[in-house]
């Protein structure tokens, strides 16, 4: 296990109780779930599920006969997610404490969603390549994340970098759609919030 991963885990364990406040400027989770194009009864993985902010949308999409598997390496974040699951009364959600690069998935899933986490993974490209191996043929990988501002807004990038490094342990230069093109077909990307965020997806 790398020292970077352990440092990130400890940081998010501490931040867990206040993490949901970030949803004020993150969002777009419902649209990301729609891009999964899953049907009722599907099995979906929420990679780096954090406090479970994607779960309401995913549970609705898969229906009572489907399954949502949430994976995160921070026990603090998962503790909040567990409370969200209990409050929602969701019987078809399984939460797993695991490192994505070490995890073995016993059967293929219909889709994988990774929201606001690629920028945090130290070995982000390896994580994306590994995620593709978990998806059945025809299934989708969808990534929602943050990137550095462009053009005139790029003057704030030094401050954004400091914020990412010391609060989120994030590197906003990770461009997931480029790595996804190596493993998936039909990769598309859309930008929003003055191109400071992106949503991308592709089919295995």
Q: What confidence category does residue 162 fall into, taking pLDDT thresholds of 50, 70 and 90?
A: low
7 neighbors 169 (Cβ within 8 angstroms) = yes
pLDDT digits (tens, 9 = 90+) for 52-95: 999 999 999 999 999 999 999 999 999 999 999 999 999 999 99
Q: pTM (2 decimals)? A: 0.89
What distance in Å separates the CA atoms of residue 177 and residue 159, rounded to the nearest whole number? 25
Q: Distance between CA atoms of 114 and 133, rounded to whole angstroms? A: 15
122 close to 4: Cβ distance less than 8 angstroms: yes
What distance in Å separates the CA atoms of residue 74 and residue 60, rounded to the nearest whole number? 25
Burial class (CB within 10 angstroms; exposed 0-12, middle 13-18, buried 19+) of 155 = exposed
Q: For 85-133, what is each residue's pLDDT tens digit?
A: 999 999 999 999 999 999 989 899 999 999 999 999 989 999 999 999 9
Contacts by residues 3-6 (CB-CB < 8 Å, ≥ 24 positions apart): 4/122, 5/73, 5/99, 5/122
Cα separation, 146 vs 196, whole angstroms = 6
Domain ranges in the chain are 3-203
Name the residue among 127, 126, 169 with its Cα closest to residue 146.
169
Report whether 115 contacts 165 (CB < 8 A).
Answer: no
Reduced 3-state DSSP string for 131-179: HHHHEEEEEEEEEEEECCCCHHHHHHHHHHHHHHHHHHCCCCCCCHHHH
Q: Higher-confidence residue: 21 or 68?
A: 68
Looking at the domain that runs over 3-203, which CATH code has it been given?
3.40.50.150
């Amino acid at each position: 296990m790398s020292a970077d991963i352990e440092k990130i885990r400890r940081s998010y364990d501490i931040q867990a109780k206040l993490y949901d406040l970030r949803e004020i400027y993150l969002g777009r989770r419902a649209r990301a779930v729609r891009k999964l194009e899953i049907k009722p009864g599907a099995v979906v993985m929420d990679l780096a599920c954090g406090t479970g902010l994607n779960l309401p949308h995913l549970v609705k999409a898969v229906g009572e006969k489907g399954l949502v598997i949430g994976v995160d390496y921070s026990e603090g974040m998962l503790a909040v997610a567990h409370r969200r699951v209990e409050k929602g009364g969701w019987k078809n959600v399984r939460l797993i404490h695991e490192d994505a690069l070490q995890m073995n998935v016993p059967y293929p899933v219909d889709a994988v969603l990774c929201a606001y986490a690629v920028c945090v993974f130290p070995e982000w490209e390896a994580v994306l390549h590994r995620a593709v191996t978990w998806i059945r043929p025809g299934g989708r990988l969808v990534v929602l994340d943050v990137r550095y501002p462009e053009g005139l807004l790029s003057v704030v990038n030094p401050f954004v970098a400091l914020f990412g490094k010391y609060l989120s342990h994030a590197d906003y230069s990770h461009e997931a759609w480029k790595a996804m093109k190596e493993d998936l077909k039909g990769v598309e990307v859309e930008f929003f919030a003055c191109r400071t965020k992106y949503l991308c997806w592709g089919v295995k």
